[in-house]
Structure 1
């Protein structure tokens, strides 16, 4: 599925980049800008960033559930990520309706 229409980036490319980042440091905080930087791209309209965040969360959860890490460390890390998303996330994405997704 095409996630970023501006850069023609697919969901599989984003997932692989996230996995590569997690392989280098499994406990780093991954944000859309870090993913795009690793892909040598940049966000243009940034309408895809909410979808990229959802992909980051999903891939990170799957990555850590398959790893040998302590279950409490995984839950604690993901809870902190979700809290940051709630704290710093926007309720309005580019003035779009709540149920509207960019991609």
Structure 2
């Protein structure tokens, strides 16, 4: 699936880059700019960044679940807090666009 239409970047390409970073250091912070830099690209309209962040989070969670052989309580707490934050930010973003 195409995630970034400006750069023609697929979801799979993003996942591969994130997994590569996590193999180097499982606890490093991965952000969209770092992913794009690794691919030799840059954000243009940046409309895809919320989706890229979701892909980074999902891929990181799956990586750590696989690394630990299942979900840990700490990981589930972090995922829960990220979901709450995403919900709040999405609501705030939608409110700005509607107003």
Greater RCO (CA < 8 Å, at least 6 residues apart):
1
Tell me by how many angstroms 1:15 deviates.
0.5
Counterpart of 2:31? Answer: 31
Number of positions where the alignment pairs a residue of Structure 1 with one of Structure 2: 94
TM-score (norm: length of structure 1): 0.73
- What's the TM-score, normalizing by structure 2? 0.76
Unaligned runs of 5+ in 2: none
Compare CA radii of gyration and give the structure with the larger one. 2
Query: Match of 2:58?
Result: 58
Over the aligned positions, Cα root-mean-square deviation in angstroms equals 2.8
Alignment of 1:1-103 (within 5 A): 1-68=1-68, 71-75=72-76, 78=79, 82=82, 91-92=92-93, 96=97
Runs of 4+ in 1 over 6 A off after TM superposition: none
